[in-house]
Structure 1
Amino acid sequence: MKSPIISAAQLNRRLDDPNLIILDCSPQSNVSGLKPEFGNTVIKNARYFDIDTDFSDLTSGLPHTLPSPEQFGKNCRKLGLDNSSEIVVYDNLGIYTSPRVWWMFRAMGHDRIAVLDGGLSAWVKSGYPTQTAHDTAKKSGNFTARFKPELVSDLDFVKQNLTAKEALIIDARSRERFIGTVPEPRAGVRSGNIPGSVNIPFEEVLDNRKFKEKEELRAVFKEVNDPSKELVFSCGSGITACILLLASELVLDQKKSVYDGSWAEWGSREKNS
């Protein structure tokens, strides 16, 4: 797919394409207090992408950690995904977990994926077909993950960057969480931010549950961006960081990655203070 986002109208025109797989990655809950506009509603033909269990490393001790290529590939095959599949991913909060799934597929070497701009809300409000339950794959797929480590930053890289300053770390959490005036929602995680990081709350790149226009996005990033540096996106647990990542992909050319452990990792280790 040429663009990392797709409109409801564009998706509707391709709804019967046999090579197109629609994935619903709606979360069971979220720490941002967001509520879905439509419950018990699924886009026609959509299959469920379980971001919390099947597609997370449950042994990491951190929420939503990227799984191994083996685990990712195995569960993609269960969903009937092939290496040639074109994927559209959405969630029921408009834009929330879907950019995370877009990034995960890219990190696993699959670029034929786009996020439904506006998510389920945009689809339902357009009057396009829905159903009440998810489809299941009729057969296993042949999907093979090909991990691209350059799209993932880890704790060691972020530590080294404190002195190297090669990357600009952009934090997607709320301003209050970033400056530490409110407690973190996760137990055992202190308040504050990574030294040298800057803050763009993820809501600043969205408008009515969709991404803002490109000129507006350029203006948002211009406030903090240093074009000479690569960009590393962080948040609470690696979910909303990907919203900023996808927004930046629409308007910026720098190398980009996600700090997968994000503040859940950094803020739970006293030696990082």
Structure 2
Amino acid sequence: MASADVFVTTEWLAERLDAPDIVVVDGSWYLPAHGRDPHAEYAERRIPGALRFDIDAVKDTSSELPHMLPRPEAFAAAVGAMGIGDGMRIVVYDGLGLFSAPRVRWTFKTFGAKDVVILEGGFPKWQAEDRPIEHGPPRSRAARSFTARLDHSAVADAGDVARALSEGTAQVVDARPGDRFRGEAPEPRAGVRSGHMPGALNLPATSIVQDGRLKSPEALAAAFAEAGLDLDRPLITSCGSGVTAAILSTALETIGKPARALYDGSWSEWGASDRPLATGPANKA
């Protein structure tokens, strides 16, 4: 898998901003600790023509879990109303450089979009290069038809993860910070226990991102190996709520070792249930 299939540069996008078959999507989403409002930031400044995609709005509204994937027909209706249709190239960015954009890209691809890429360096790089910024009310696009077909194989549920761990059919890698994984720090969501799934391994997403970009392929492969992961065996990515897990999935894709699936419910689901829990460092044996 070439990096060009996953990322585009700011130079590339700047030359094609007015192309009718390209749609730019602001997929910014922040943790409470970031102290930032993605809606206010989008309203104030954005890449010209960018649409706002909110993972907390386009979600399964029947689930109490955060930003779970919606049903295909709901996703199709939501993005079609935004002006995103079949056959368009979708370029996703976020306000941290590389944080929530991978989750948005994974969502579109899981629903069948063929051509979805991430803006390398995101909005911070775009701004640092003094590229065009749009202010005021966003432009509207005519509604389009988007055909959504959910790729069930790309999405793991709690049962899939439990079987993978008990039967050894796949490795589970958790993107949360080490102190949360080890159970040394509380979870940010009420009612969610501290710790990790017995048998899961830990690779914090922050450890493979530098200056809003993924580290080099060599550094990525080394980081996965150091975490105890065998890149020749199937992997399921997880995190707190399915956002930073997508950073790991993106990293795996760029080095030609795509993840089998992403655990959509992640620790928000597992940690709030009565499923087995472990604390302390991961057992890499």
Q: Does TM-score exceed 0.5, indicating one fold?
A: yes
How is 1:23-102 mapped onto 2 (pairs within 5 angstroms)? 23-27=25-29, 29-31=30-32, 33=34, 39=41, 40-53=44-57, 55-102=58-105
Equivalent of 1:19 in 18, 21, 45: 21
Equivalent of 2:153 in 150, 155, 158: 150
Residue of structure 1 equivalent to 2:12: 10
Show structure 1 runs of 5+ residues with no match. none
Question: Using the alignment, how far apart are the partners of 2:151 and 2:10 within structure 1?
Answer: 30
Percent of aligned pairs sharing the same letter: 36
Q: Is the 8 A contact 1:172 1:235 kept in 2?
A: yes
SS at match of 2:92: strand
Question: Using the alignment, how far apart are the partners of 2:84 and 2:230 within structure 1?
Answer: 38
Show structure 2 runs of 5+ residues with no match. 278-285
Equivalenced residues, count: 271
Residue of structure 2 equivalent to 1:237: 241
Q: Is the 8 A contact 1:170 1:233 kept in 2?
A: yes
* Deviation of the 1:227 alpha carbon: 3.0
- CA root-mean-square deviation: 1.9
Q: Is the 8 A contact 2:87 2:114 kept in 1?
A: no
SS at match of 1:10: helix
- Are residue 186 (structure 1) and residue 186 (structure 2) matched? no
Residue of structure 2 equivalent to 1:206: 209
Question: Using the alignment, how far apart are the partners of 1:228 and 1:91 within structure 2?
Answer: 31
SS at match of 2:34: coil
Q: Structure 1 length normalisation: TM-score?
A: 0.94
Letter in 2 for 1:159: A
Question: Using the alignment, how far apart are the partners of 1:204 and 1:64 within structure 2?
Answer: 24
Q: Is the 8 A contact 1:36 1:92 kept in 2?
A: no
Question: Using the alignment, how far apart are the partners of 1:74 and 1:67 within structure 2?
Answer: 11
Q: Structure 2 length normalisation: TM-score?
A: 0.90
Q: 1:25 to 1:233 in 2, by over 3 A?
A: same
- Are residue 105 (structure 1) and residue 99 (structure 2) matched? no
Cα deviations by residue, 1:223-259 (Å, 9 ceiling, x for unpaired):
2221342111100000010011101110032442100
Question: Using the alignment, how far apart are the partners of 1:134 and 1:203 within structure 2?
Answer: 34
Q: Is the 8 A contact 1:107 1:147 kept in 2?
A: yes
Equivalent of 2:223 in 216, 220, 224: 220
- Are residue 252 (structure 1) and residue 263 (structure 2) matched? no
Letter in 2 for 1:139: A
Residue of structure 1 equivalent to 2:280: none
Cα deviations by residue, 1:123-173 (Å, 9 ceiling, x for unpaired):
011111011246343311011101111110001101112221111111000
* Deviation of the 1:117 alpha carbon: 1.4
Q: Is the 8 A contact 2:198 2:276 kept in 1?
A: no
* Deviation of the 1:32 alpha carbon: 5.0
Residue of structure 2 equivalent to 1:117: 120
Q: 1:161 to 1:32 in 2, by over 3 A?
A: farther
* Deviation of the 1:272 alpha carbon: 3.4
Question: Using the alignment, how far apart are the partners of 1:3 and 1:86 within structure 2?
Answer: 11
